[in-house]
A = this chain, B = another copy of it.
């Protein structure tokens, strides 16, 4: 009795989420300490103490009717102004509160953008490998997601193919850096070239092509690598941000969109996104956590914990004989499957209680993703298992 579209969606439902559920079952069966679950990007570094402090202060000091009440669908004006100021200080931008729309995480924000922009049949490009949910976020609004094939040398975007795939129907491009699933950070050189291609194509077709920057991992970059702020490179950039990873609040569903004045039809888009946020049933981003993040704009999770995991896992896997992309950001490691069939490889890994996600879930078959937002002990205990797995494949 469910809709035909949902029948297909359920069938293709997230392998990652399915593995998360499977991991819980395995943990119950074998004991949590004997299951090495690298499947889900669920932060294991707790929210900074400042979050707890902010909640307590707000409950003590602010009017509960305001704290838990409705506000403009775009969010509290003071919170949006505080975020704009913070971005301006960090990136030299000139945003004001109207450019900021508070959202139910980045997933909510991306849905708002797609609802706002897409006519049926319009195309959205993204770069393989990519977060599989983009496919749903685009098809929710009858758009068509097309993935630019991966550049398997360094997993920077394949810009030649990208240029060839842009057409009159291209309404938006989704980029995600630091990248899920590869852990790669797109370089400034990449961004400059991408922007030049987009500007050229906009002129060629007389269209607006919006670059949607999905940035839940912005603050998770290692070894001092810079993550360029894209609105500075391309006028039609819309940023989707989330505090899920930067403050370890994924369950709280809090993030924002930046729709800069420089974007074509900026005012219309801002107004429509506000309506989309309402009619899609979000209504507004959760109110208490809007107020919390305004007090935690300079708070940070313990990045060094992820960094130690990153190094230990990367070095351990390479030593075991696996071929890996060295992660520069996020908390994902992208590893080549020793056999072409990455799903079969992930199934084989389960024998050692290793839960890893097939790259084909991200449009990157032949690879697998490991989410290393787990305890350091899990990494240490998993490495001998990975060595056994490598031995099975004669690496």
Contacts and interface: CB of A to CB of B under 8 A. Distances in A.
A264 B119 contact: no
B65 A272 contact: no
A21 B271 CA distance: 13
A117 interface: yes
5 contacts: A2-B269, A3-B119, A111-B281, A112-B281, A252-B287
Interface string A264-281: 110011011001101111
A244 to B, nearest CB: 8
Interface string A183-211: 00000000000000000000000001010
Contacts of A284: 251, 253
Interface of A: 1-7, 9-10, 13-14, 17, 20-21, 40, 42-44, 46-47, 51-52, 55-56, 59, 64-65, 67-73, 104-105, 107-112, 115-119, 133, 136-137, 140-141, 208, 210, 248-253, 264-265, 268-269, 271-272, 275-276, 278-289
Contacts of A269: 1-2
A115 B9 CA distance: 11
Contacts of A3: 115-119, 141
B116 A283 contact: no
Contacts of A115: 3, 6
Nearest to A46: B64
B286 A2 contact: no
A52 B56 CA distance: 9
Contact of A282 (B13, B69, B108, B275): B108
B1 A117 contact: yes
A318 B68 CA distance: 33
A245 to B, nearest CB: 11
Nearest to A75: B251
Contact of A111 (B5, B43, B280): B280
A65 to B, nearest CB: 5
Given A17-B73, A104-B281, A136-B279, A287 B251 contact: yes
Contacts of A281: 104-105, 107-112, 137, 280, 282
B67 A140 contact: no
Contacts of A288: 251-252, 288-289
A120 to B, nearest CB: 9
A216 B69 CA distance: 15
Contacts of A116: 2-3, 6
A272 B6 contact: yes
Contacts of A289: 286, 288
